[in-house]
Structure 1
């Protein structure tokens, strides 16, 4: 039986505390894996069975020692960066479709913790001992793709370097207390820092109404002069909503998004009821590094402030991965 995964509490600062190690935080699917008597279990954080969707991981499990369990992340690389949307597409496939995608879009299992080794539970061991055993497992069994060992460091300079890898899809870093055991569902001995950047965008529509906006639909012009939808804001604080309402004007005449529909969330089919506004107001928002294949912000953008001092021409052009 696989345990529930250990969890991480958010931390606002990317500072490696003394007595802790850091690991790269990948833009992928958290997955727990066990091999018992040749049978692979590959389970998502929510408990979904992922093994049928990733036959290359199932085939490669033959290289692991029996009665072994790992915690890690499933990732797919595309054009030099992590492609979460390809991973999501793969998770829905079974049978021949899953086999085809395993060839065209192969996944990797990035292991970052060892829960059981050849029948011996390692969850009570401190992180340092589990990590040493995990590194020994990779060396002894000469594990190669689709297996990958997550980097770990106690060097603050290395952490700072990792935080520059956002163009490759690295979301941030995880900090893990060196003397901590693996505690299912526990938080506190692991911390997560996600890289966030501020970006300017143009408000093209709102949920709610222009007089009382709830969230903002954001865009940027591309080099051809088309207003590209790039994301949606989080719910506006009450004061911010009132201030933004004073700066919005209902759309008059033709609008670049006339006739468009917008999803209520990335990866969902539910549509939003929106009101188009004149694409004139510039706002500053905070975003993480997660993008879809079109370069849109996959997670809601956090409200920072309106920028009435800027015009839409001051906003950088849309680029797939800016």
Structure 2
């Protein structure tokens, strides 16, 4: 039986990938980790047939123990808190120490061609989105590990209920800072997770050495999303250039996020649309309208 390790399986995309693997690929053994004991307890409850271990990005010995005996590793690091200059070398060292791992799959978010040299120290210090990936990818490229990259240089749809739902439910306003508005590509988290699970479940030789760029199918800004939401919930929704709801939601991370937006709205505008999701999954990917319709209850 092939064994797949998901580092940080309580995270959003790591958790979704674990769920898809558990439900659709029973021939794959799961090893799941969390850095928190409470996270491990949750994983054991959700996945009673999986092996669950404690592991921390900053504890090299725990990474080595987590990787012993696995075939493939999936890595999704959290925004804001990850220091890739430490975490990525720890991961590389653990994989090399263990030996025998046939595939390392890393989720990244880099507009094609963007490098760390093109970003100011201020942007890199936010440790968000591509500002993580542009540090990690060159280290992984130089490592000689059997890498597969899932590159998602666009917004994931679960940001909409996180950022917008409370204000829409309470006041029928889509409230975001004007600085954050841009015409973006949007992709469903379920599609990303399904792609990751497929890559992890299949023969590594099909995917090692590949970088799969996943995007949405069309560019949509907040005003257009406002119109879509109104149609989906059957009531008028208005756009408001207001930073207070996001400030309340993000707390002390708000300033870092706004700094990141100044880079993101500039550098993600030229990301080309790809058909990678449909090609890999053999079906059309989820559109933003379909996502909002499916998740309508989150906004009413």
> TM-score w.r.t. structure 1 length?
0.23
- Identify the structure with the greater helix proportion: 2
Which structure is larger by alpha-carbon Rg, 1 or 2? 1
Q: Which has the larger share of strand? A: 1
